[in-house]
Amino acid sequence: EDKVVQSPLSLVVHEGDTVTLNCSYEVTNFRSLLWYKQEKKAPTFLFMLTSSGIEKKSGRLSSILDKKELSSILNITATQTGDSAIYLCAVGGGSNYKLTFGKGTLLTVNP
Amino acid sequence: GAVVSQHPSWVICKSGTSVKIECRSLDFQATTMFWYRQFPKQSLMLMATSNEGSKATYEQGVEKDKFLINHASLTLSTLTVTSAHPEDSSFYICSARDSPSLKLFFGSGTQLSVL
């Protein structure tokens, strides 16, 4: 059975701090790893990673995949209160490319 | 990014009634859509994979006769919760895959409350 594990499950930081969120996986026929941010309703897409070692960056957020270690990290620098959300890691695999989600990391950024 | 519309956002119904939730991809064609369920403070749990023009594939433990999925066109999938009971109360989210990029885009979700 496919498995995605995120850590930590929750994290509280102050504005301006840098955070690193972790995601490890065991998936049959890995195809890609995706990061989503979920605030109140549906998740919004952040990154999709397919190749190992290539960093993807968007503003203060960046992510990288390590296929050898079967893991990925999501970095957020200079955090702001608006970054408070649940960050979900999902891994796509198999013939129908279904996504398996981790439990998420609840990030709280205090002013 | 691509837009996926889900309707309704909220529904409250009596026990025993059926509820239909619609999921539409607005600016792309989605041969595959996925239906998830999410309980408070928990992650997304895949219920079923909906393929256009064919029967849905349900995950283990999901009753296909209770959660009817229809994917009649490349832009529309529906989930019908039949004979809903209070334990079916949950947040249901659909997603559609943009085939060329394989990215999944999510609808805004439906909060179902069964009284």
User: What pLDDT is attached to residue B1?
Assistant: 63
pLDDT tens for B3-30 read: 899 999 999 999 999 999 999 999 888 8
pLDDT tens for B51-82 read: 888 889 999 999 999 999 998 888 999 999 99
CA distance B22 to B39: 20
Flag whether pLDDT at A77 surpasses 70.
yes
| Bridge partner residues of B69 (DSSP) | B79
- CA distances (Å), B109 to each of B4, B71, B93, B112, B114, in order? 10, 17, 4, 10, 16
Tell if the CB–CB gap between B34 and A34 is shorter than 8 Å: no
What is the average pLDDT across A34-43? 88
Q: Which residues of B touch A101 (CB under 8 A)?
A: 43-46
Comparing CA positions, the residue from B73, B74, B90, B75 lying closest to residue B19 is B90
Of A32, A44, A101, the CB nearest to B44: A101
Of B41, B43, B46, the CB nearest to A98: B46
Instruction: Give the three-class secondary structure for A94.
Output: coil
User: What pLDDT is attached to residue B101?
Assistant: 67
Q: Are B78 and B23 in contact (CB under 8 A)?
A: yes
pLDDT tens for B101-110 read: 677 889 999 9
pLDDT tens for A82-103 read: 999 999 999 987 766 778 889 9
User: What pLDDT is attached to residue A22?
Assistant: 98
Which residue in chain A has the smallest CA separation from B98?
Answer: A97
Q: Is B109 on the interface with A (CB under 8 A)?
A: yes
**A37 Cα to chain B: minimum distance (Å):** 11
Identify the sign of the CA torsion A26, A28, A33, A36: negative
Tell if the CB–CB gap between A97 and B103 is shorter than 8 Å: no
CA distance B51 to B67: 15
Please give the full DSSP string across B9-65, using - where no structure is assigned: SEEEE-TT--EEEEEEESSS--SEEEEEEE-TTS--EEEEEEETTS--EEPTT--TT
